[in-house]
Amino acid sequence: MLSSSSMDLLMFLLLLVSPVALASSSTVPAIFTFGDSIFDAGNNHYNKNCTAQADFPPYGSSFFHRPTGRFTNGRTVADFISQFVGLPLQKPFLELQIQILNGTSNFSNGINFASAGSGLLFDTNKFMGVTPIQTQLQQFQTLVEQDLIEKSTIQESLFLLETGSNDIFNYFFPFQTPTLSPDAYVNTMLDQVNKTIDQIYKLGARRIAFFSLGPVGCVPARAMLPNVPTNKCFGKMNVMAKMYNTRLEDIVNIIPTKYPGAIAVFGAVYGITHRFQNYPARYGFTDVSNACCGNGTLGGLMQCGREGYKICNNPNEFLFWDFYHPTERTYHLMSKALWNGNKNHIRPFNLMALATTNIAF
């Protein structure tokens, strides 16, 4: 058995491999993405009733050189996976919806339905006007029912899902007393996971990737919560995230049995991020606690880009871009681990294998 240090070295070497060079045998024609700000490519920007926005500088500054609505300085995990597969980046559904009405839409490479601030629970951040996953799924279902997406395309496509961080962070908000225990609350979240899988399967999804939550209790925004430590991660929040992750993996593991013809993987984002935090220098980080862009304690008391914000000179050396979200470089390293990493990072096999496995229909 490899030692912990040997495993970390192996992961580092894997991250040096160019994923794009390994994508030539992929049969994936499109990617459909659902979730929150980890994936959102700009849906909230096109929702003028939504107050959760990142459509202003310096968001997008490191890659797109303009704000796109993504909650980081460049590309997200969904963007990198798309590039590894060899596809153009998927557009936000709400942008495509405008084009559909104009008769100019083209979403042959997939669609991004994710909405920053949303969660598995319908009411999570509802006051901000975000698009809950239930609505995201309905948007997809409507396109399928209108025969705007070919069934064969859906069956061969990748389905990426990541959500739940906002549900857990909101559980600890000081101005609302939870009515459920942490255990019951997590089970309520997982009820929606089961409904989500059931719905996308019935609509044709067969290649499914569910990503775990990261260590939510380590985001700089925890500085906004009363009586929460800022010199270390918020343990209670991370315990809930790990509880959710463990049960989520159990659900993912039975997908091939419960849903004939479907294959599924579990992306261990918590563990990947935890390694970055424990061995920052190994991965090129000099700061894994503070936001590169923000202000106040941990840079977590103000959103990046708001009046009075401060920004670091070297975002590539920071784990966090703003008070909630990783930098593009963090997403890049994470995406590589999910694409061609070992079972410590994603299981039972990686996204590259998921994208190249033949599926019998």
Catalytic machinery residues: 37, 322, 325
Report how far residue 192's alpha carbon sits from residue 8's, in angstroms, rounded to the nearest whole number. 34
- Among 293, 334, 345, smallest CA distance to 76 is for 334
What kind and span of H or E run contains 111? strand 110-112
Contact 11, 75 (CB under 8 A): no
What kind and span of H or E run contains 347? strand 346-347
Q: What angle do CA 224, 226, 229 make, to 5 degrees?
A: 85
How far apart are the two ends of the chain, measured CA to CA in Å?
38
Report how far residue 116's alpha carbon sits from residue 146's, in angstroms, rounded to the nearest whole number. 26
Report how far residue 355's alpha carbon sits from residue 316's, in angstroms, rounded to the nearest whole number. 29
Helix 328-340 crosses helix 77-85 at what angle (to 10 degrees)?
50
Radius of gyration of the chain (CA): 19
Report how far residue 269's alpha carbon sits from residue 334's, in angstroms, rounded to the nearest whole number. 7
Contact 284, 314 (CB under 8 A): no
Residue 8, burial from CB neighbour count under 10 angstroms (0-12, 13-18, 19+): middle
**Token pair belonging to 272:** 């990947």
Q: Say how far residue 78 (Cα) sits from the centre of its chain.
A: 7
Count each helix (H run) and each strand (E run) in the chain, helices first: 12, 10
> What type of residue is 236?
K
